[in-house]
Structure 1
Amino acid sequence: MDDFWSGVGVDLHLEPDATAGRRTGLERALRDAVRDGRLTPGTRLPATRRLAVELGVSRGTAKAAYDQLVAEGYLTSRQGSGTAVASLPSADAAAPNTPTRTRAPLFDLRPGSPDVGTFPAAAWLRALRRAIATAPSLAYDYGDPRGRIELRTALSEYLGRARGVLAPPERIVITSGYVQGLALLARVLDGGTFAMEDPGLPFHRDVVRRGGGRVVPLPVDEHGACAGELTDADAVVVTPAHQYPTGVTLHPERRRALTDWARARGGLIIEDDYDGEFRYDRQPVGALQGMAPGQVAYLGTASKTLGPALRLGWMVLPPHLVDEVADVKLHSDHHTESIGQLALAEMINSHAYDRHVRACRLRYRRRRDQLVDRLGVRRSVRGIAAGLHALVEVADETEALARAAEEGLAVGHLGEHWHAPDGDHRAQGLVVGYGTPRERAYPEALEALGRVLETS
């Protein structure tokens, strides 16, 4: 029998074994398709009359094959509903009472994510509709690896007025989030040495290493990254607005020291504008890029303001890096998807994005205030001037984490962020994110945190 594709209900690809006989060959082909998952539970199969025509067999042969697989439990058949694939237990399903995954925490105060429940679905839908209605047909074709000109133009204006970034559209490259931007720069500077904040996010260090870079630690103190300790690095990655995880803001003198180093050495500053939009007690601190546009690669995203699922980020590059980064982007994924870019451009141009960011800023400031009020003045809480996380100092991280586990509370901790986690680090603390919990769950999560800190 020849392979066939059915046009009824679902495209159905089968390879019946002609040497086994028509009925037996059809039974085996259907059975194998169900077993290996090519036919998923609930999939409706063609009627026996249509199946017989497609295969060139009698209707009786097709019906007999269906009846046999119904009897074996692979298919189900109902009068008036036709024949469908039955639900089967997975071959690798765990035995009863065997745990298959870690239980989700009762309270999640891990850092790194926003409250995704605040995603402005109505505003995004309006922007998406307007973008699709006005998009040229070429928007659905392969595009510029630097990204849609509509979004690059909108970001040029927005970043200039909101973050103090000098961002001509021709120097902007749209990425699928911050991680891709960092990976692209690591590939462009293949083999280069990257100084990265210590403590800092281990995953970002892995991204640089996988891109061909060598990572060296750059100490962080109460004034931010210690720029005076930079030596022979080719690039330095910093989070000036709200350092992760300590929460400090880079001191003005350190900013000048960084830019002086970059100019003198010809080094590259990679500015991760982490939490740059969320400053609570005064106006947001301007981006470092505005001080040295020729030495700073500025990276930002919509992950914290809108949601990580959109995978929309941007780079503002020194002129000499634009073509190289665009070429690596071209050979990485060609370009970031276009329709989301057009929708974000529409939101920025209509100022719906500004309104949403302001609303989020108020929401997260209230959460920050609740956190500080619950912990009180006796507990040292750092990094609360901005962002979606705070560092709560503790005497013993191990004990605090054990108590958190007893309470069903998930939190981050400082120990997992050091370049050398097993080293002798005096500072210990819990990294508490207040973006993740939904509004109703947040007060109870704070109570659990309070109990952990009071008893540990």
Structure 2
Amino acid sequence: MADLYVPVDHERGGVAAQVASGLREAVRSGRLAPGDRLPSSRDLATDLGVSRGVVVEAYEQLVAEGFLVSRVGSGTRVAPAAAACQRGPGGEEQVPYHDHRSRATSPDLGHFPRERWLAALRQALATIPSDALDYGDPGGIPELREELAGYLRRVRAADVEPENLVIVGGVAQGLSLVLHVLAAQATRTPQGDGFGLAVEDPTSHRQIPLLRRAGAELLPVPVDGQGLDVAALRDRPARAALVTPAHQYPTGVVLSPCRRAALVEWAQDADAIVLEDDYDAEFRFDRDPVGCLQGLAPDRVVLAGSVSKALAPGLRLGWVVAPPSLAGAVRLARGEFDLGSPVIEQYALAGFLRTGGYDRHLRRMRREYRSRRDALVRALAEHLPEVRVRGIEAGLHAYLDLPAGWDEHQVVEAARELGLAMEAVGPMRFTPGGPAVAAGFSRLPAHRAERAVRGLKVRMSGQTID
């Protein structure tokens, strides 16, 4: 059984979070190895001078995050994969995939339009023919591809026809399928020089495993105030580039017009493909959203999107828009991997789009999220003016530059206690940078923003600011 030292500062408060943080760090540093058995909650509580309930809460938190496993008869142990799952793109720590509370880009699921979605499902079940419930086109039902093509032309200025659109189980699957196709094509080239994928630095660390599993060699390219540095991209041996041009994650900047033109020119010169992750483009608050990059160069850009931010990630409904030959290969790959997406949900989404329910929901949530972002920014300006808010007024998160000397992970832990979703930017970097966090505001009601920020100020008051 592991002998543990976990520092606890009773005066600082949040004792359960301190215990969880100490144990989490022990796993990350290797002091606790996979399979190590932890003391019983009663024994550890005695050793630390805290109540048993505090330790139970800390253990439950780490079980939920995937650091620990607890089974009757064998006690609480370090999870077998706990150490391996913590490495980010630069070898730094990251949050496990299933710790959804920390996702800065998660929507407020309490606003999911249950009644309208239920009505769409009922309408689909009442009207679709029985044959529609059989194995269908792995690229998606024609009705949904038709509705989505019209929506993307109207809202995202995309250059898309239904036959160039493939329905997928979210952006993650869409990118994976496209990369599998591109990697397979690269290995068949006479040169045999592999497949290099340029990615933004910093970038979403949760995408890194799927990109590598799809056969890509990641080539980081820095991001500045204008987005991806295309001049630096030209120095990389990349066959494709993955970008978030409408609202870069995590920095929140928009790819500037000159960079958009330069990126398309690079793709043409290098005979390369640009993968456009259009993850939250509908939520632009200060003006109409910038049209998608795909509309500028449909022969060179693959557009990937989903309803995960607009409705709910659990629906697992997304799309890929690609040049004709590539769209056909992605559709074939979809059929080979899993035969396609659930049919009833596709009909429901088609009806939701056709009747205007999707547009109405977006308008409602755009107003709500803008209010929440404004409240968070105001509270930060008043109570933590040393924290700098960067990025455009858009999306579901804000990029916060922290003062020198502040620890990202401590800020994240403190924010989580206060109901504010944050993610440390350090694990998203391939190259070192100053302390920063991505702060999600979508699940923080406007009337709670000031209280959360004041609480964060109190918890961080012991930090040294150079």
Structure 2 CA distance for partners of 1:404 and 1:113, relative to 1, 3 Å = closer
Change over 3 Å in CA distance of 1:154–1:417 after alignment to 2: same
Q: Does 1:364 align with 2:323?
A: no
Residues of 2 paired with 1:120 and 1:419: CA distance?
39
- TM-score (ref. length: structure 2): 0.73
Q: Does 1:209 align with 2:212?
A: yes
Match of 2:279 in 1: 274
The answer as to whether partners of 1:218 and 1:226 remain within 8 angstroms in 2 is: yes
Tell me, yes or no, if structure 1 residue 186 matches structure 2 residue 173: no
> In structure 2, what is the equivalent of residue 117 of structure 1?
110
What's the CA shift for 1:449? 3.3
RMSD: 2.4
Going from structure 1 to structure 2, the CA distance change for 1:218 and 1:94 (only over 3 Å counts) comes to same
Secondary structure of the structure 2 residue equivalent to 1:241: coil
1:154 aligned partner: 147
Name the counterpart of 1:241. 246
Secondary structure at the residue paired with 1:167?
coil
Q: Which runs of 4+ in 1 moved over 6 A?
A: none
Question: Conserved in 2, the CA contact under 8 Å of 1:115 and 1:438?
Answer: no
Distance 1:451 1:223, change over 3 A: farther
On the 8 A contact 2:372/2:444 being kept in 1, the answer is no
CA distance in 2, matches of 1:373, 1:337: 43
* Bigger shift: residues 150-159 or 122-131: 122-131
SS state of the match for residue 367, structure 2? helix
Q: Distance in 1 between matches of 2:392 and 2:460?
A: 18
What is the CA-CA distance between 1:392 and the residue it aligns to? Answer: 1.1
Tell me the equivalent position of 2:357.
352
Query: Closer, same or farther in 2 for the Cα pair 1:139/1:218, shift >3 Å?
Result: same
1:127-150 Cα distance to aligned partner (Å, 9 max, x none) = 111111111212211111100111
* C-alpha distance after superposition, 1:338-367 (max 9, x if no partner): 111110110100011000001010000000
Instruction: Identify unmatched segments of 5+ residues in structure 2.
Output: 1-36, 43-54, 66-99, 184-193
> Per-residue deviation at 1:396?
3.8
From the superposition, tell whether residues 394 and 150 of structure 1 become closer, same or farther in structure 2 (CA, over 3 Å): same
Residue 146 of structure 1 aligns with an amino acid whose one-letter code is G
2:135 pairs with 1:135:
no
Contact 1:404 1:452 (C-alpha < 8 Å) held by counterparts: no
Deviations 1:386-432, CA, capped at 9 Å, x for gaps = 11111111124653532553562552121110124xx4x2x321210
Q: Distance between the aligned counterparts of 1:96 and 1:413, measured in 2?
A: 29
| Post-superposition CA distance 1:241-279 (Å, at most 9, x none) | 110000001100000001111112210000001210000
Aligned counterpart in structure 2 of residue 405 of structure 1, from 395, 400, 413? 413
Deviation at 1:93, TM superposition (A): 12
Q: Identity percentage over the alignment?
A: 41
Q: Is the 8 A contact 2:408 2:426 kept in 1?
A: no
What corresponds to 2:81 in structure 1?
A: none
Match of 1:391 in 2: 399
1:22-37 aligned at under 5 Å gives the runs none
Task: Give SS of 1:297's match.
Answer: strand
Q: Report the count of equivalent residues.
A: 360
Q: Report what 1:324 is aligned to.
A: 329
Q: For residues 450 and 367 of structure 1, what CA distance do their matches in structure 2 show?
A: 19
Seen in structure 2, the aligned counterparts of structure 1 residues 401 and 213 have a Cα distance that, compared at 3 Å, is: closer
Question: Would you say the 8 A contact 1:172–1:317 is kept in 2?
Answer: yes
Secondary structure of 2:140's counterpart equals: coil
Q: d(CA) in 1 for partners of 2:370 and 2:359?
A: 16
Aligned pair 1:418/2:416, yes or no?
Answer: no
Alignment correspondent of 2:84 = none
Match of 2:168 in 1: 175
2:379: which partner in 1? 374
CA distance in 1, matches of 2:139, 2:352: 20
The CA distance in 2 between the partners of 1:138 and 1:108, in whole Å, is: 40
Aligned to 1:254: 259
Letter in 2 for 1:380: R
Contact map agreement 2:408 2:425 (CA 8 A) in 1? no
Q: For the pair shown, which has the larger CA radius of gyration, 1 or 2?
A: 1
Task: Write the distance in 1 (CA, Å) between the matches of 2:305 and 2:442.
Answer: 18
Q: Contact (CA 8 Å) 2:369, 2:396: kept in 1 or not?
A: yes
Do structure 1's residue 228 and structure 2's residue 219 form an aligned pair?
no
Q: Distance in 1 between matches of 2:325 and 2:101?
A: 43
| CA shift digits 1:40-70 (9 cap, x unpaired) | xxxxxxxxxxxxxxxxxxxxxxxxxxxxxxx
Indicate yes or no: 2:60 matched with 1:101.
yes
CA contact (8 A) 2:145 2:166 kept: yes
Cα distance in 2 for partners of 1:452, 1:254 equals 41
Q: Tell me the TM-score normalized by structure 1.
A: 0.74
Answer whether contact 1:144 1:335 (CA < 8 A) is retained.
Answer: yes
